[in-house]
């Protein structure tokens, strides 16, 4: 064969193709979305500003044209959505009967102080954006030593082993509160009288701290945030008898102050120290304070004269008032916790409460209303018991009492949804409980029933108050005095306080005497039953001895058998009566 020359390309053969396509361009844009899209000068939390802004926008031509243009499109979408109700609840007509579901509560978490020297839980505050975090203030108010830590913690309930953030104040915290408008902001009252402001995004140290010379002279027992445009205002009180208003952006000195002087003279020497504060955002200018002496002072922040600032004085308890809160559904009615009782008041009645509990065996330490049900409130006692009251079903005893621990409970806090409740003990243990459905699911017509109950009790107290005034007038006329019915408020208040103290003390002593008598009666009955049994046994032994010594004839044997039969029937008949008597 003849040789042939042939070229071979080792590389892979490829072809070229060209295609024209449209280029996709991507761009990044930013939007400043502040306060839900509202303008900076409009506070969405203020209803008046929102209404004025809406009326202004609705009059603009652009708004009217846009609504007409989008109306047909939106109408079609709305009809599609309304074709089937996907949110329908098939059990709206089913009435929740509390008797069918027994009230209960279960422990879901326990938070312990990580410090070596255990301290008491002084105050609690739930995270405002959900039941995931809890701020806990730790402080020992008795025999405080320098070796104890000043730290307080923010706990994440999903990780109860270690706190999420450690707050480091200059002095132990007595109270702490989350800002309802800003979940990162917290305000705390210290044992040395200072106020500290934290921003969780900026670490453990306080961002602002009030100077000692412009702070309280005693521990700050309560501080609350105020409904304002900026959301940066709060006020505080302590056992020095002063109320200070603060702006957390500049805490060099308080913006306003007020002395809790029940004589309405604004004299600091007559001021009474306070343990409790109450503030309702729907009534922004009014607040109430519960004092060490057991009285409730209703105040008006915008009052121009001292008499206008102190609106009313209520003779609350015979001991310090540890908790004070208005009913979330009926702001005219408020709850007070002190001495051995919990009392419900009406603003219209200043003489006495409209409802109250019986004296407990141990003092009450804290209490609050349920945010979901208007008839439910909670109390804690110094014997470690948490009591849940439902005044619709029971007025004389709590619906549920739980022994949380053996040591005293100092504070409690209910989450906004009403399902979780946190309690703090003397040994630094914070217990989280989940309530049964009956305590956070509002029954049908409960609000109207509670309203009718409060109105009925208020009307009853008004009648009794008018009757007491008539009796006093008749006594004055019988004695031939020329005094009028307008007796000074100060003298009336002192007399009412003394009468309430005397009646409460008598009631408490009667309870103790009754229990002692019951115990003595039980012991006496037990001794009598033992003595009767021993006497009966002794008689039987004597009869047996006599029968053994006497010779028995046939007739005597027959008589003995008959007597034994009668005696057996008699003893069988007597045994039930003796059992009933014992």
Which residues lie closer than 8 Å to 307 by C-beta, 6 or more apart?
Answer: 264
SS3 state at 276:
strand
Which residues are 447's β-sheet partners?
none
**Can you tell me the distance from the alpha carbon of 523 to that of 529, in angstroms, rounded to the nearest whole number?**
10
- Sites in the chain below the pLDDT cut of 50: 35, 98-99, 485, 552-555, 557, 561, 568-582
Specify the 3-state DSSP secondary structure of 319.
Answer: coil
- DSSP secondary structure code for residue 399 in this structure: S
Q: CB-based contacts of 323: which residues, under 8 Å, 6+ apart?
A: 276, 290, 335, 336, 337, 366, 367, 368
Q: Identify the pLDDT of residue 215.
A: 92
By C-alpha distance, which of 353, 344, 337, 411 is closest to 375?
344
Answer left, alpha or beta for residue 480, where phi above 0 means left and psi between -120 and 50 means alpha. left
Q: Where are the alpha helices (DSSP H) in 479-553?
A: 489-549
Three-state SS string over 217-252 comes to CCCEEEEEECCCCCCCEEEEEECCCEEEEEECCECC
**Starting from the edge strand earliest in sequence, which strands make up the sheet with 220-225, in order?**
220-225, 233-238, 242-247, 256-259
What angle (nearest 5°) sits at the alpha carbon of residue 229, between those of residues 225 and 231? Answer: 35
Question: What angle, 0 to 180 degrees and rounded to 10, lies between the N-to-C axes of helices 47-58 and 61-82?
Answer: 110
Using DSSP's 3-state secondary structure scheme, residue 286 falls into: strand
SS3 277: strand
CATH for 117-462, options being 2.130.10.10, 2.70.50.60, 3.10.105.10, 3.40.50.300: 2.130.10.10
Please give the pLDDT value at position 578.
Answer: 39
Q: Which helix (H) or strand (E) holds 137?
A: strand 133-138
pLDDT on residue 569 = 41
Of the candidates 315, 279, 283, which has an alpha carbon nearest to the alpha carbon of residue 297? 315
- Strand partners for 377: 369, 389
Beta strands in 296-384 (DSSP E): 296-300, 310-314, 321-326, 333-338, 341-346, 355-356, 364-369, 376-381
Tokens of 319: 């001991």
Pair 342, 351: CB distance under 8 Å: no
Query: Is the pTM higher than 0.75?
Result: no
509-518 long-range contacts, CB within 8 A, separation 24+: 511/359
Amino acid 571: pLDDT: 44
**What's 408's DSSP letter?**
P
CA distance 133 to 157: 6
| Number of Cβ within a 10 Å radius of residue 448 | 10
Per the DSSP assignment, residues forming a β-bridge with 474 are none
Determine the distance from the C-alpha atom of residue 125 to the mean position of all C-alpha atoms in its chain, rounded to a whole number: 11
Q: What's the pLDDT at 393?
A: 87
* CB burial readout 549-582, b (16+ within 10 A) else e: eeeeeeeeeeeeeeeeeeeeeeeeeeeeeeeeee
Rg (CA), the chain: 37
Strands ordered across the beta sheet of 376-381:
364-369, 376-381, 385-390, 400-403
Closest CA to 395 of 344, 327, 436: 344
Rounded CA gap, 293 and 316, in Å?
A: 9
Handedness of CA 43, 46, 47, 49 (dihedral sign): negative
Q: CB atoms < 10 A from the CB of 190, how many?
A: 27
pLDDT for 140: 82
For residue 177, what pLDDT is reported?
94
Domain(s) of CATH 2.130.10.10: residues in the chain: 117-462
């Amino acid at each position: 064969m003849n040789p042939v020359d042939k070229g071979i390309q080792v590389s892979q053969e490829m072809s070229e193709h060209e295609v024209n396509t449209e280029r996709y361009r991507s761009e990044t844009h930013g939007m400043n979305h502040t306060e839900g899209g509202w303008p900076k000068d409009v506070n969405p939390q203020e209803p008046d500003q929102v209404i004025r802004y809406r009326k202004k926008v609705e009059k603009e031509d652009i708004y009217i044209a846009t609504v007409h243009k989008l109306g047909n499109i939106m109408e079609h979408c709305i009809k599609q959505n309304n074709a089937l109700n996907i949110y329908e609840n098939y059990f709206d007509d089913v009435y929740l009967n509390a008797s069918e579901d027994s009230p209960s509560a279960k422990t879901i978490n326990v938070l312990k102080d990580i410090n070596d020297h255990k301290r008491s839980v002084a105050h609690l505050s739930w995270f405002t954006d959900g039941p995931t975090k809890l701020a806990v203030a730790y402080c020992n108010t008795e025999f405080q030593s320098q070796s104890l830590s000043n730290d307080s913690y923010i706990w994440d309930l999903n990780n109860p082993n270690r706190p999420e953030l450690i707050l480091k104040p200059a002095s132990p915290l007595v109270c702490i509160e989350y800002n309802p408008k800003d979940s990162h902001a917290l305000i705390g009252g210290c044992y040395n009288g200072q106020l500290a402001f934290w921003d969780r995004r900026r670490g453990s140290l306080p961002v602002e701290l009030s100077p000692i010379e412009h702070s309280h002279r005693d521990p700050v027992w309560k501080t609350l945030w105020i409904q304002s445009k900026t959301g940066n205002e709060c006020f505080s009180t302590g056992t020095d008898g002063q109320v200070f208003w603060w702006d957390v952006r500049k805490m060099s000195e308080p913006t306003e102050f007020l002395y809790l002087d029940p004589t309405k003279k604004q004299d600091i020497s007559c001021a009474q120290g306070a343990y409790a504060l109450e503030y309702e955002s729907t009534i922004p200018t009014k607040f109430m304070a519960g004092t060490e002496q057991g009285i409730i002072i209703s105040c008006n922040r915008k009052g121009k004269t001292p008499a206008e600032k102190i609106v009313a004085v209520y003779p609350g308890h015979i001991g310090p008032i540890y908790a004070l809160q208005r009913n979330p559904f009926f702001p005219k009615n408020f709850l007070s916790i002190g001495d051995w009782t919990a009392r419900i008041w009406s603003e219209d009645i200043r003489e006495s409460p409209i409802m109250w509990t019986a004296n407990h065996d141990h003092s009450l330490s804290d209490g609050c209303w349920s945010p979901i049900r208007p008839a439910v409130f909670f109390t804690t006692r110094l014997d470690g018991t948490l009591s849940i009251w439902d005044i619709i079903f029971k007025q004389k005893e709590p619906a549920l009492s739980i022994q949380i621990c053996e040591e005293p409970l100092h504070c409690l806090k209910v989450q906004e949804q009403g399902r979780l409740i946190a309690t703090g003990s003397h040994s630094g243990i914070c217990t989280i409980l989940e309530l049964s459905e009956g305590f956070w699911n509002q029954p049908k017509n409960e609000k109207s029933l509670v309203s009718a109950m409060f109105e009925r009790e208020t009307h009853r107290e008004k009648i009794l108050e008018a009757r007491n005034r008539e009796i006093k007038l008749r006594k004055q006329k019988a004695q031939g005095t020329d005094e009028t019915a307008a007796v000074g408020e100060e003298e009336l208040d002192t007399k009412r306080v003394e009468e309430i103290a005397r009646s409460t003390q008598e009631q408490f002593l009667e309870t103790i005497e009754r229990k002692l008598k019951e115990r003595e009666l039980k012991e006496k009955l037990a001794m009598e039953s033992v003595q009767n049994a021993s006497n009966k046994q002794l008689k039987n032994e004597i009869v047996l001895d006599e029968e053994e010594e006497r010779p028995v004839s046939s007739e005597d044997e027959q008589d003995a058998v008959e007597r034994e039969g009668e005696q057996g029937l008699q003893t069988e008949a007597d045994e039930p009566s003796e059992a009933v008597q014992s």
